[in-house]
């Protein structure tokens, strides 16, 4: 995690500092941005493209490839381990294990799809900028709107994928709501020992005297 924080915060900080120090940051006329200042358009075309690629679009394109490749490799590894380590119908394969594997497989499919769908609009605008050279591309309002929404929604998408779609995190959220709003929330943690357990109606140890209607199922 230490290396992760160093790279995740350090590399963008260095790039931003270099761009600012070399006067590459400024008004971009919304040609490849969506309402915010980024790489200045008041510089030679080749230099501007180089800064656009180095300060964002290059990393974006690399992320498309690496996230897709890594997610696919993890999916294949999970399926391989399940196939080799768990025998269908054996003692080690349970319904809960299958559910966990299916959820992980679906999430690993959604991660690259959601990321690409959110970020691709800015990449499309970048390639339009390259294709239209030496003229400036026409500004498509719908593409600018999708670019702004997509780039700003990545954090929310991560929240949905890794928080709302994770059972353990959802359970912690519900418990926090119970503590904060005890009168508004009625969530009660289930005890697995009492789920789908059959009990006799009367307090007795002689179960042979009861029929099918004399038992209740507690959920």
Is pLDDT at 50 greater than 90 in this prediction?
yes
Inter-residue contact 48 to 133 (CB < 8 Å) = no
Distance CA(218)–CA(199), nearest Å, equals 8
Is pLDDT at 81 greater than 90 in this prediction?
no
Structure tokens at 5: 């924080």
For 166-199, the DSSP string reads: -HHHHHHHHHHHHHH-TTT----PPPGGGTTEEE
Query: Which phi and psi (to 5°) does residue 106 adopt?
Result: -65, -40
Distance CA(146)–CA(157), nearest Å, equals 15
pLDDT of 165-183, one tens digit each?
Answer: 788 888 888 888 888 776 6
Mean pLDDT on 39-43: 87
pLDDT of 14-31, one tens digit each?
Answer: 999 999 999 899 888 888
Mean pLDDT on 101-127: 88
Mean pLDDT on 38-43: 87
Q: What is the mean pLDDT of the chain?
A: 79
* Other Cβ atoms within 10 Å of 126 Cβ, number: 22
Long-range contacts of 166-172 (CB under 8 A, 24+ apart): 167/103
Is pLDDT at 86 greater than 50 in this prediction?
yes
Mean pLDDT on 136-162: 89
**pLDDT value at residue 185:** 54
Domain ranges of the chain: 2-152
Question: Does the N-terminal peptide bond of residue 168 adopt cis geometry, omega within 30 degrees of 0?
Answer: no
140 or 84, which is more confident: 140
Instruction: Give percent above pLDDT 70 in the chain.
Output: 77
Which residues does 63 contact at the CB level (< 8 Å), separation at least 6? 115, 119
**pLDDT value at residue 191:** 45
Farthest CA pair distance, the chain: 93
* Confidence at 92, pLDDT banded by 50, 70, 90: low
* Confidence at 213, pLDDT banded by 50, 70, 90: very low
Is pLDDT at 103 greater than 70 in this prediction?
yes
């Amino acid at each position: 995690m230490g290396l992760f924080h160093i790279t995740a915060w350090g590399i963008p900080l260095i790039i931003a500092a270099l761009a600012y120090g070399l006067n590459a940051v400024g008004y971009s006329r919304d040609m490849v941005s969506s309402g915010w200042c980024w790489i200045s358009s008041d510089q030679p075309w080749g230099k501007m493209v180089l800064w656009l690629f180095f300060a964002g679009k290059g990393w974006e394109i690399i992320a498309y490839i690496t996230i897709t490749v890594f997610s696919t490799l993890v999916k294949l590894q999970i399926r391989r381990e399940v196939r080799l380590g768990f025998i269908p119908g054996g003692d080690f394969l349970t319904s809960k294990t299958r559910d966990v594997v299916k959820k992980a497989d679906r999430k690993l499919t959604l991660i690259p799809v959601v990321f690409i769908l959110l970020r691709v609009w800015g990449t499309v605008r970048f390639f339009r900028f390259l294709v239209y050279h030496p003229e400036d591309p026409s500004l498509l309002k719908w593409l600018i709107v999708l670019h702004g929404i997509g780039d700003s929604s990545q954090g929310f998408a991560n929240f949905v994928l890794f928080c709302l779609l994770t059972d353990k995190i959802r359970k912690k959220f519900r418990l926090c709501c119970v503590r904060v709003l005890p009168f508004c929330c009625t969530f009660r943690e289930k005890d697995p020992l009492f789920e789908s357990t059959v009990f006799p109606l009367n307090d007795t140890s002689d179960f042979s005297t009861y029929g099918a209607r004399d038992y209740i199922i507690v959920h």
